[in-house]
A = this chain, B = another copy of it.
Amino acid sequence: MTNSSYERLETIFERVAHLANGERNLSWDRRTLMPPGSGETRAKVVSTLRTIANETLCSPQVRELLDAAEAGGIANLNPWQAANLREMRRLWRHVTAVPIPLQSAIAELAGPTESAWQCARRDNDFQSFIGPLRAYLELQIEASRIRGEVLGIAPYDALLGAHEPGMRTATIDPLFDDLAGFLPDLVQRVTEKQSRVPRPIPLEDPFPEPQQFELSRSLATLVGFDFEHGRLDKSAHPYTSTVPGDVRITTRFRLDDVREGITATIHESGHAMYEAGLPYDWRFQPVGLARGGALHESQALLFEMQASRSTPFIQHLAKLLREAFGRQGVAWTDSNVLRTYRRVAPGFSRIEADEVTYPLHILLRYRVERRLVEGSLDVADIPDAWNATSKELLGIVPPTHALGCLQDPHWTIGYLGYFPVYTLGALIAAQFFAAAKRAEPELMAALARGDFSPLLRWTRCHVHGLASLAATGEELIMQSTGEALSTGALKEHLVARYLEE
Contacts and interface: CB of A to CB of B under 8 A. Distances in A.
B246 A34 contact: yes
A121 interface: no
A153 B313 CA distance: 70
Nearest to A246: B38
A417 interface: no
A33 interface: yes
A284 to B, nearest CB: 8
Given A25-B26, A38-B243, A45 B33 contact: no
Given A21-B45, A49-B22, A37 B245 contact: yes
Nearest to A21: B45
Contacts of A228: 35-37
Contacts of A18: 44-45, 47-49
A33 B32 CA distance: 12
Interface string A215-253: 000000000001111110000000000011110100000
A230 B245 CA distance: 28
A246 B35 contact: yes
Size class of the A contact interface (CB-based, 8 Å): 35 or more
Contacts of A245: 37-38, 40-41
A97 interface: no
A19 B35 contact: no
A35 B245 CA distance: 9
B45 A22 contact: yes
Contact of A25 (B29, B37, B244, B246): B29
A15 interface: yes
Copies in the complex: 2
A244 B245 CA distance: 29
Interface in A149-178: none
Interface in A1-58: 15, 18-19, 21-22, 25-26, 29, 33-38, 40-42, 44-49, 52
A52 to B, nearest CB: 6
Interface string A335-349: 000000000000000
A134 to B, nearest CB: 27
Nearest to A33: B231
Nearest to A283: B41
A228 B46 CA distance: 20
A37 B231 contact: no
A26 B29 CA distance: 9
Nearest to A40: B245
Nearest to A56: B52
Contacts of A49: 18-19, 22, 49
A121 B26 CA distance: 29
Nearest to A248: B35
A41 to B, nearest CB: 4
B26 A229 contact: no
Contacts of A42: 25, 246
Contact of A48 (B15, B26, B47): B15
Contacts of A21: 41, 44-45
A22 B45 CA distance: 6
Interface string A53-91: 000000000000000000000000000000000000000
Nearest to A52: B52
Contacts of A244: 41
Contacts of A26: 22, 25-26
A41 B34 CA distance: 22
Contacts of A46: 22
Contacts of A29: 25, 29
Contacts of A52: 15, 19, 52
15 contacts: A15-B48, A15-B52, A18-B44, A19-B45, A19-B48, A21-B44, A22-B45, A22-B48, A29-B29, A35-B230, A35-B231, A38-B230, A38-B245, A41-B283, A49-B49
Given A40-B245, A41-B244, 19 more contacts: A15-B52, A18-B44, A18-B45, A18-B48, A19-B48, A19-B49, A19-B52, A21-B45, A22-B46, A22-B49, A25-B42, A26-B26, A29-B29, A34-B246, A35-B227, A35-B231, A36-B228, A37-B229, A38-B245
Interface of A: 15, 18-19, 21-22, 25-26, 29, 33-38, 40-42, 44-49, 52, 226-231, 243-246, 248, 283-284
